[in-house]
Structure 1
Amino acid sequence: MEKLKPVSRNMLSKWSSSEDSLVRVFRNSSWLFSAKGVGAILSIFYLAILTRTLGVAGFGEFMVIVGAIQVLTAVLKLQTWQAVVQYGVPYLLAGQHQAFRKLSAQNFWIEFLGGLAACGALWLMLPYGASQFGWSNTTEQAIMGYGVIVFLSVRSTPTGILRAQDRFGGNAFGDAIIPIVRFAGALVLFVTAPSMTGFLIVWGLSEFVSFVVMWLMVWQHHDSVHPLRDDAAITIVPPSRQEFVAFLLFTNLAYLVSVIRERLVVVIVGFFVGPSAAGLFRLADQIANSLNRLAEVFARPLFAELSRLFAIGQSRESRALFWRSLRVSAISGGVLFIGLLLLGKNIIALISGPEYLAAYPILLLLGAATIISLAGLGLEPLLQAAGRARNALIARVAGLIALGLLLAVFLPTFGTIGAAWVMLISAILTSIILFVSSRAAIREPQHRKPDPRIA
């Protein structure tokens, strides 16, 4: 046993200090996975409280509200973390911390002003939702309060700052706060008086606490410097306004498409089929979405690492990293689907009770859709890091168009199971287009600018 201890210490030392690209991705992923792991465990409990106290229809109605807020957020409140990473990493590599802070401040105001616009949109649209579902004035006020907190909590910019500085631990802590607050709040409601208004208050509080914690993590350490190769000399040319706006636009449209695909379908099912159908669909989607969270845990550090490799001109290493990550994600996806096939019914019954078992076939289809996306999760980060965000957007938009057209055909005839089939077909189409679009970047990645990044 004594001989094993130095070996273990040596392995841990290599893990923590290795500059191998895939090890760096896994190391940063481990921080995010710890947060997502906490969230996954706690979400089982608060999802059980939600489904059992609100009932199928009430749970569906609650998820329609949450989904609508998230769609509005994606439409009007721009996600800035990718822009902070894309253009901030070269500044940090060159030690230009003042320029990095200026970039971060610019992205803060972009995100905040988008949040203000989303508040106005919700205020205008809320009466239509209230008339559709018969919400009381108290519920309307709770929805408005929840929306304002979500919209004005600037969380994407600090996320980008922490990821650009390779501080995924702080990012993970900020993310972990949300499920912790939701679990604690749901538990309090369970032993007192559970209601939709109460759950909306708890959900809003979780967003606000995470927002505060995230900025505290940013201010805890002002600057972090990325290691440079000894032979690397980097000259930074700030992005032009056109380049910056184009990147922000393309990455946000791609994000919008993914949110619409994930959340708007639940809202559509709720409006056109009914709250009970939306409840079953959302429960299946929530469980399948836990797999998607695993994909995000890996994809976000992968994007940051690819951005670093492109910034220092290591195109061969970026190609090798992509192929290695593709193999890992494909194998993981297969294992996860087998687990879902064998344990899906038991998971549903354990979390929500036998009245929700009708969600099992929906769960299999949505799980398959998520795992197909998981198998190709490196494609979109590769395109974005290589300056081909437009290609990623085209793939997402094509998948969304197919989703909308097929929903119009399948939803009226087949209901929720038809919507699940549409999600699967859309995922397959999107992955195919992403792979075709990525061929040029895989063969010979290009830098974000032809020459000025590397001197």
Structure 2
Amino acid sequence: MGVQKLFANPLIRRIVRNSGYLFSARGISAAMSMLQSILAARLLGPSMFGVLGALTQFTSVLNRFASFRIDELVVRYVGHYEEADDQPRAAATFKLAAALEISGSILAFGLIWLLAPLGSRFFVHDPQMVQWFRIYGLIVLFNLIYESATGVLQIFDRFRVIAITMAAQSVLTLVLITLAVIFRQGLMAVVLAYMAGKALGSLVITAAALRTAAQVWGVDWWRTPLGLLKSERRSMLTFAFSTNLSSTVSLLAKDSEVLWVSAFLGTTEAGYYKTALALTNLLQIPVSPLPKVTFPELSREIARKHWANVRYVLKQGSRLAAGYSLPVMLTLVLFGRPILSLTYGADYLPAYPALVILLIGYTFTNIFYWNRVALLALARPVFPTLVNLSGALIKIALIFALVPVYGYLAFAALLSGYYIYTVGIAAGRVMLDLRSRLRASTEGQ
């Protein structure tokens, strides 16, 4: 009866359907990513596995630093204009987003090229690796409008395209890494395998989004004048820069963990930590698509001022996430050691304590997965940035105090604490905001 009630709401059914596409792809991708990780870890050993993590994360961090989380801007504003049946402004928004993203991608590649010597020296402790930092950095040039394209596909419910592309990308990467193992290649073969998979995914998503734009807005959509957005330009740029600032804070606080560990403790500890993070993916598989599919639905319902629907979706979403996350967390805590030994090998058993600590924070985040996208849909992009900034400052200060004493386990504890602090405050703010708007709506009637 409870399950029937849960799926009685058409919003929940649509979210679950769309997340089902991404879940299927993410399930396949996660399984293949796990196999990729296991094969690469066994091929390279803990120290070189840590080098791989630092090299790939270096590019990811600089790419995200220069980006504006454009997919969220596209979902927020293109979705708004589509609801208002204002297709010219919707097309102009995509055009503006793509232009911003292209600029950011070029900036990111420039930063990677210039900072590669520092990356090779401080994060992998080998200046000879500088050229490989630059070579892997080429991947950002394949991502010129990847985020904008993803946002368009989300708005027009092309989740199946995203899902198939994700799966194909994972298959290609796995095949290439398997060949590297068979032919006993080293780090560089693994790096090229990751590059090939990412390039495929970026090109297909971009092509699919451009085709969708032509179908919806006409083949000349890109000629739409940006002047149509004059009245909204300030709001859009505020949204873009605030989400970019939020992303930058996240990079420092939670998305550059392997770099922090490698810089402070060395590549072997980074290899253990990367392994622990890889196993937390089992916890995130079905939940990670939910923010992307929930955001467009929340944006539509908030535009219609259906506050009761919004609150219902969030509560039921948390129940769905908890129903998966809590049992999986318990399983990984109880059987994490044998899982590590059977998959990555006995050399990676030191990753287990970090895994247990990380599971606490990731489980909490899973349950309130909607915290950030709900604030964005409520037109409060600055609030999560301020919360994340305060959490990041506390976390970074504690790194210098705790890491010399507790080693890489301190990084795991601080990351879990950061999640509980920031997600808890953001989720609380969402519920208070919805309660206030629902009360005002009721009184207005």
Alignment partner, residue 260 of structure 2: 268
**C-alpha contact 1:315 1:444 (8 A) present in aligned 2:** no
Q: Which amino acid aligns with 1:157?
A: S
The answer to whether structure 1 residue 56 and structure 2 residue 46 are counterparts is yes
SS at match of 1:313: coil
Q: Which amino acid aligns with 1:63?
A: G
- The counterpart of 2:191, out of the listed 170, 183, 200, is 200
Structure 1 alignment gaps of length 5 or more:
1-10, 226-235, 451-455
Q: Deviations over 1:250-309 (max 9, x none)?
A: 223333333433332211110111110000011101211443353321111111110111
Alignment partner, residue 171 of structure 2: 180
Q: Which amino acid aligns with 1:123?
A: W
The answer to whether structure 1 residue 443 and structure 2 residue 443 are counterparts is no
Bigger Cα displacement from structure 2, 66-75 vs 87-96: 87-96
Q: Using the TM superposition, give the Cα deviation of residue 445 of structure 1 relative to its aligned residue in structure 2, in angstroms.
A: 4.2
Alignment partner, residue 433 of structure 1: 425
Bigger Cα displacement from structure 2, 171-180 vs 372-381: 171-180
The answer to whether structure 1 residue 39 and structure 2 residue 42 are counterparts is no
Q: Deviations over 1:29-81 (max 9, x none)?
A: 00110110111111121111110111100000110111111111111122211
**C-alpha contact 1:372 1:427 (8 A) present in aligned 2:** yes
Alignment partner, residue 377 of structure 2: 385
Q: Deviations over 1:171-199 (max 9, x none)?
A: 22232233222101101111124222222
Alignment partner, residue 4 of structure 1: none
Matched residues in 2 for 1:51 and 1:176: separation?
Answer: 21
Spell out the pairing of 1:250-329 with structure 2 (5 A cutoff): 250-329=242-321
- The counterpart of 1:150, out of the listed 140, 151, 159, is 140
Q: Deviations over 1:361-384 (max 9, x none)?
A: 111111111111111112222111
Shift in alpha-carbon separation, 1:97–1:173, aligned structure 2, 3 A: farther
Matched residues in 2 for 1:224 and 1:371: separation?
Answer: 39
Alignment partner, residue 361 of structure 1: 353
Alignment partner, residue 111 of structure 1: 101
Q: Deviations over 1:103-128 (max 9, x none)?
A: 11211111111111111111111112
Bigger Cα displacement from structure 2, 209-218 vs 273-282: 209-218
**C-alpha contact 1:90 1:311 (8 A) present in aligned 2:** yes
Aligned residues: 421
Q: Using the TM superposition, give the Cα deviation of residue 413 of structure 1 relative to its aligned residue in structure 2, in angstroms.
A: 1.0
Matched residues in 2 for 1:38 and 1:75: separation?
Answer: 29
Alignment partner, residue 125 of structure 1: 115
Q: Using the TM superposition, give the Cα deviation of residue 136 of structure 1 relative to its aligned residue in structure 2, in angstroms.
A: 6.5
- The counterpart of 1:86, out of the listed 76, 82, 86, is 76
TM-score (normalizing by structure 1): 0.87
Structure 2 alignment gaps of length 5 or more:
218-227, 441-445
Matched residues in 1 for 2:230 and 2:314: separation?
Answer: 27
**Runs (4+) of structure 1 moved beyond 6 Å?**
none
Alignment partner, residue 165 of structure 1: 156
Matched residues in 2 for 1:238 and 1:326: separation?
Answer: 38
Alignment partner, residue 3 of structure 1: none
Q: Using the TM superposition, give the Cα deviation of residue 439 of structure 1 relative to its aligned residue in structure 2, in angstroms.
A: 3.5
Q: RMSD of the alignment, in Å? A: 2.4
Q: Using the TM superposition, give the Cα deviation of residue 216 of structure 1 relative to its aligned residue in structure 2, in angstroms.
A: 2.5
Q: Which amino acid aligns with 1:50?
A: A
Alignment partner, residue 339 of structure 2: 347
Alignment partner, residue 6 of structure 1: none
Shift in alpha-carbon separation, 1:77–1:86, aligned structure 2, 3 A: same
- The counterpart of 1:210, out of the listed 189, 201, 209, is 201
The answer to whether structure 1 residue 374 and structure 2 residue 366 are counterparts is yes
Q: Deviations over 1:330-361 (max 9, x none)?
A: 33321221121123223212221011011111
Q: Using the TM superposition, give the Cα deviation of residue 407 of structure 1 relative to its aligned residue in structure 2, in angstroms.
A: 1.1
Matched residues in 2 for 1:113 and 1:416: separation?
Answer: 36
Q: Which amino acid aligns with 1:369?
A: G
Alignment partner, residue 224 of structure 2: none
Shift in alpha-carbon separation, 1:223–1:296, aligned structure 2, 3 A: farther
Shift in alpha-carbon separation, 1:272–1:136, aligned structure 2, 3 A: closer
Matched residues in 1 for 2:370 and 2:389: separation?
Answer: 18
**C-alpha contact 1:315 1:445 (8 A) present in aligned 2:** yes
TM-score (normalizing by structure 2): 0.88
**C-alpha contact 1:116 1:152 (8 A) present in aligned 2:** no
Alignment partner, residue 443 of structure 2: none
SS at match of 2:407: helix
Alignment partner, residue 421 of structure 1: 413
**C-alpha contact 1:57 1:275 (8 A) present in aligned 2:** yes
Matched residues in 1 for 2:231 and 2:363: separation?
Answer: 36
Shift in alpha-carbon separation, 1:409–1:110, aligned structure 2, 3 A: same
Matched residues in 2 for 1:238 and 1:291: separation?
Answer: 44
SS at match of 2:185: coil
Shift in alpha-carbon separation, 1:290–1:393, aligned structure 2, 3 A: farther
Q: Which amino acid aligns with 2:51?
A: E
